[in-house]
Amino acid sequence: MQHTSEADQDEQATRPFEGLVVVELGHSVAAPFAGQIFGELGATVIKVEKHDGDAARAWGPPFQEGAATLFQTLNRNKQSVVCDLRDPAQTDALKRLIAERADVVLQNLRPGQVETLGLDGAALLALRPSLIYCNMGAFGRTGPLRHRPGYDPLMQAFGGIMSTTGEAGRPSVRVGASIVDMGTGMWAVIGVLAALWQRQAGGQGRVVDVSLFETAATWVSLIASQVLASGEAPPRYGSGTASIVPYKGYATSDGEIVVAAGNDGLFRSLARVVGHPEWAEDPRFADNPSRVRHQAELYGMLDAIFALRPTAFWLEQLEAAGLPCSPVNDMNQMLAHPQTEALGLVQRVPGTAMDFIGLPLSFDGHRPRPRSRPPALGEHTETLLRQPATMTPTTEIQE
């Protein structure tokens, strides 16, 4: 009798989608990130690229092992096939692959392209009725802008994120991380998983739609709710926020620190730490609505006080008082922090010298790990497109 080692069991526990086949008709960030999530969780992910590859392969420097680091970090655990979608024979081969093997198709090609090529959801579900097909567009399925392309900075601008980011009186700024692209990848996975769950009951596939604009609008939904209630567009608050005071970052004598005193009890503690317990009895600061109205005075005093001492001093004092606070880490500080190490967030890709941040979830205490390096361009074309597919079609998530 063959026994499975504890390590093998742990590895299997982090691969709930083993046996699932995902075809990624994607490029740049959103679809590749969605594909990578599935791949990291055990699915077979087949990435379809044009003859000169995903444009992200050239998004450098830096470059690692033949491609830009930005590409490598989004495309591990995948197979790459090159397919000229203008060539009917190659497109037919791709359709056969999808019809015979695919459970999921992710696509973020130029608006209207998949319909022209017969690779849209309706066409492919006619070939494989159990298929889950996910459109990852720019502006969504309907509306006057549905045919326009989009990229993360454009959607941070159009979706209102940039209008809320930055400091009052200064130009809007983009959030440095690709939150709209990567958020859309996450929503694609959520939508596909919901459709797969329903498919288990009835066996029927469906089309899922997500978009960059809808993701951007969702990220500002808390702010939007206030605007919908008041009709007033908020100004920019830098590291702070509109409705909670004091709740922002401060320059110290040697760096920066963020303090989140989000209720009256925490404000009283903060007032004691900075040497002004009388602030808690000041009518201007007695409760949060009052502090919001008088935030200019309060922040002016706090800014001056925090600037007198180094970050380490304030962290010690604030933490001792039970106040939520954090230094403003740069990327090297975050990556080298003992908490990052303890969680095992930074992972080495097998067979490479590349380290990347893994998925932000664990199963029974075990984080999914990369299984294979990012593929070379077209590395699996001959195997997957030039020969008839021989695997039995997968119709449900395997147990």
Catalytic residues: 181
Nearest to 121 by CA among 184, 53, 192, 186: 192
Amino acid at 140: G
Which residues fall within 8 angstroms of residue 197, CB to CB, at 6 or more apart?
A: none
CA distances to 93, 94, 127, 135, 164 from 118, rounded to whole Å, are: 13, 11, 11, 14, 41
Using CA atoms, how far apart are residues 378 and 92, in angstroms rounded to an integer? 17
Q: What are phi and psi of 366, to 5 degrees?
A: -120, 125
Cα atoms found within 13 Å of the Cα of residue 273, Cβ hemisphere only: 24
CA distances to 107, 148, 149, 213 from 144, rounded to whole Å, are: 21, 9, 12, 13
Residue with tokens 């009917």: 88
DSSP state of 294: T
CA distances to 23, 87, 223, 320, 380 from 81, rounded to whole Å, are: 10, 14, 43, 56, 5
Residues in the chain: 399
Which residues fall within 8 angstroms of residue 116, CB to CB, at 6 or more apart?
A: none
Q: What are phi and psi of 147, to 5 degrees?
A: -95, 0
